[in-house]
A and B are shown apart, each in its own frame.
Chain A
Amino acid sequence: MKYLSEYRDGEMVQEYLKQIHAIVTKPWTLMEICGGQTHSLVKNGILDMLPAQVTMVHGPGCPVCVTPLGIIDEAIALASRPEVILCSFGDMLRVPGSSRSLLEAKAAGGDVRIVYSPLEAVRIAQQNPDKEVVFFAVGFETTAPANALSVVHAEKLGVSNYSILASHVLVPPAMEAILSDKENRIDAFLAAGHVCTIMGMEEYFPIVEKYKVPVVVTGFEPVDLLQGILMAVTQLEKGEAKVENQYARVVQREGNKLAQQTIQQVFDVSDRTWRGIGTIPMSGYEVKEDYKRFNARLKFNLDLGEVKENADCISGAIMKGLKKPFQCPNFGTRCKPEHPLGAPMVSSEGACAAYFAYGRKPEETVV
C-alpha cells in the first residue's frame, strides 16, 4: 500500500524514537488532538516506547465522544418516529443517550441505517418519497464539507424529504478552551491532520502567537506520530513556538478552498455544547437560515430540554488532559465500553475506550 506501508516501517519508527530519546532533557506534556491519533498511538504500542519525559495526553478530537447527550436523545427521538429513516455513521449507533442508544432504538423498531456517506442518505430519501430521511451529521471540520454538500445536492435534486441533524464541532475553539483553563498543563499540540486537510493551517497561527505553544500538524500512522512528536519536542527544547506541518503530503497551508466554501454555503458558526466539557462559544456549525428546511431540528420542532451528564464521569478532566483514564475510580469497573458512564468510553477513539480495549492499566502495563 503506497503512502501507508512506508509510514508503518519499523526501522523508521526506531530511528525517530532514537532521535526523541537523544534530544529530550525535560518533562514535556503533548496533546494529540484527534481520536484517530490516540487510537493509533495505543494500537501500535507507541506510548510505552516513548521516553519517560514525554507524556501524551489525549485531546477532545473524537466526534462520537463529544456529541452531547441531548443531541443523541434528539437522534433517538427522530429514529423512533414511524415516518423517519435515520441515517448515521456506524460508530454513533452504540453511544448511549440518557436512556438508550440508537442501536436499541433500532431493535425497538426504529428504522436506523448505517451509511458511509451523507450522499447515500440523499439517495435513500429519493428512493423513499413517503418517508422523511434524516442524516445524523456528526463530526469535526473533516466531515462538514460532505455533510454540507448533501444539503446542496438534495436542494439541487429537489429532494424535500431530506434533512440533517447537525452536531458539528470545531478544533481551534476547543484548543483555546483547553489553553485558557487555569489548570492547563499542555506544552504542545499535535494538530489533527485530517481537519487541517480541509481547513488548512491559518487558524493555528493566532493560537501559537497568543499562548506561545508549538502546534505540529500531524498524521495518523506510527511514523507520522513519532515525527510529529520529534518536531514538537525539538521546538520545546529550543524554547520555540511555531506552527509546523509534519503531514505535508496531505495538508496545504490554505487547506481545501472548495470544501471550505461548501461549509460556508450551508453552515453558520455557532455556540456548541461538548459532551464532558460544556458549552464553548463559536465552536460548532449549525445549518444556515437559507437552508432551514433541511435542518431536522426545525423541521421536526425538536426541543427535549436540558439533559444532565452522569456526575460520576470525569470526562472533562480526561479530555482536557488533566487526568489519565486509569486515574478514574470507575474506569474498567462501573464504566466499560458495554456500559459507558460518559463520553470517552463510548467510541473506540475515546481515550478511555482506547485504554480499556488495549489493556492499558497501570498495574498491567505491558513491557
Chain B
Amino acid sequence: MTSFTKSLQFNCPMPKLDFDMITMGHGSGGLLTHRLLESGVFDLLKNDQLDQQHDGAFLETSGKLAFTTDSYVISPVFFPGGDIGELAVNGSVNDLAMCGAIPKYLSLGFILEEGLKMSDFWEILVSIKVASERAGVKIVTGDTKVVEKGKGDQIFINTSGIGELHPQAAIHHSRIRQGDKILLSGPMATHGMAILSRRKGLEFETTIESDTRSLNHTVRQLLDKLGQDVHFMRDPTRGGVATVMNEVAGQTKLGVDLVQKSIPVLEQVEGACELLGLDPLYVANEGIFIAVVDAARAEEALAVLRSEPHGKTASVIGEVTTSHPGQVVLASKIGGRRVVSYLTGEQLPRIC
C-alpha cells in the first residue's frame, strides 16, 4: 500500500461489522450481502449512478465508445507497490486508453473466497476507490459472489470499462508505417519482478515496487498533441515488450528494430532478472505503454511522455522497418543482432 492509500484509509475507517471474515452468507443475496454492500461497498464508492442501486447503470455518453473487460487473479493479492484492487481499476482503464478512449465507467465484479479477512477486503476496496478517483472513472455497477474455501484464491476481480473515443484518435495496427518510431513510456519489467519477489518460495530482498498506475491522462495529452500521428498504442502487460513487438510485426507484416541500450530498465530490476535467469523483455508491466508514432513527431511525443512524473526515462526504443518483415530484431548492447521471438510458455527460472 502506498503512503497515499494509507492516509486515505485512515480517512475511510472500516465500518463496524459483526463479522471479521467473508462467509458463504455474504454471497447469498440475503441480509449479510445487503449489510456488506450497504455499510461497505456502496458508501465507499458512492456516485450518482451507483447510488441508484438498480440492476444496471444508466450512462450518459457521447460519440464512439470503446468497451473492454479483464479479470484479475493475481497472487499475492497484496504486493510491493499495490494490490489487486488498484490493478483491477488501472488494468481496464489502461486497456481503454490504449484504444485511444477516455475512460468513463467501470463495472466491478468480485469473486470472494470464504474466509477472506474483512480487513483485507476493505483495504482492497479503498485501493479501488483511490485508483478510480485518480483515473477519473466511476464505478457504476457491480456484483459479489462468494465461493467455498479452496475454490478460489482469496479474491478474484473482474472489471469492464467503457470509454469515449478521443476525437483525434485513430489507433490501429493497420496505421503503422515504415519509419515510424517506437516509444516506451518508462522502465520495463518492474511489475513482474515486484510480484516475483514476493511469490512463495522465491522471496528475495529487494526494493522493487510494482509500476501499476493509470495511463489515461498521459495518453490523453499525447493524443491532444499528436492526434492521428499516434498510429498505435499498447500496454505491454503479460508477455512484456517482446510480445507486443512480435504482435506488431506479425499483424503489420513489417519488421521491428529494437535498440537494447535505449530500452529503459531499473538497475535493481535488471539485477533481479539476472539473478533469476529471466529476460526483462518478456516480464510483465502494469504502468507503461508502447506508442508507435510518425517519425517526424517522435521528439514531441517523447517530450510529452517525459513531462509526466513517471516518464523521466521514456525513450525511443526502436523503429518500424521493411527489412525482415514479421520479425523483431534487437541490436544488442555489444553490437550484435538477434531475433526476439515469442515466448513459448511461462518464463521459468533456470537451473544455473
Contact = CB atoms under 8 A, between A and B. Distances in A.
Interface in A352-366: 356-360, 364, 366
A52 interface: no
Interface residues of A, number: 51
B201 interface: yes
A116 B351 contact: no
Interface string A160-197: 00000000000000000000000000000000001000
B339 A366 contact: yes
Nearest to B330: A45
A194 B274 CA distance: 15
A200 interface: no
Nearest to A87: B201
B201 A89 contact: no
A89 B267 contact: no
Contacts, number: 106
A360 B324 CA distance: 13
Given A44-B332, A115-B201, A366 B349 contact: no
Interface in A301-352: 336-338, 347-349
Contacts of A140: 352
A64 B334 CA distance: 28
A359 B267 contact: no
A44 B334 contact: yes
B134 interface: no
Contacts of B270: 1
A91 B349 contact: yes
B338 A366 contact: yes
A116 B274 contact: no
Contacts of A138: 351
Contacts of A241: none
Nearest to B275: A116
B90 interface: no
Interface centre among B279, B332, B345 (most CB of A within 10 A): B332
Given A93-B348, A114-B349, A138-B351, A358 B339 contact: yes
Given A46-B336, A116-B202, A338 B349 contact: no
A89 B344 contact: no
A4 interface: yes
A152 interface: no
A214 interface: no
A113 interface: yes
A350 to B, nearest CB: 11
Given A4-B274, A8-B333, A45-B332, A94 B345 contact: yes
Interface residues on B, range: 20 to 34
A252 interface: no
A97 to B, nearest CB: 16
A338 B344 contact: yes
Nearest to A356: B341
B352 A358 contact: no
A14 interface: yes
Contacts of A139: 351-352
Contacts of B335: 10, 13-14, 45, 49
Contacts of A43: 279, 332, 338
Interface string B309-336: 0000000000000001001010011111
Contact of A143 (B276, B337, B341, B352): B352
A366 B329 contact: yes
Contacts of B337: 45, 48, 366-367
A358 B350 contact: no
Contacts of B340: 358
A140 B351 CA distance: 10
B104 to A, nearest CB: 39
Contacts of A13: 334-335
28 contacts: A1-B270, A10-B333, A13-B334, A36-B350, A44-B333, A44-B338, A45-B338, A89-B350, A114-B201, A114-B348, A116-B276, A116-B349, A138-B351, A142-B352, A143-B351, A143-B352, A222-B334, A222-B336, A336-B344, A337-B344, A338-B345, A347-B350, A356-B341, A364-B324, A364-B327, A366-B324, A366-B338, A367-B337
Given A114-B201, A139-B351, 4 more contacts: A1-B271, A89-B351, A91-B348, A336-B344
Closest 9 CB pairs of A and B: A45-B336, A359-B339, A90-B348, A90-B349, A337-B344, A13-B334, A45-B338, A89-B351, A358-B338
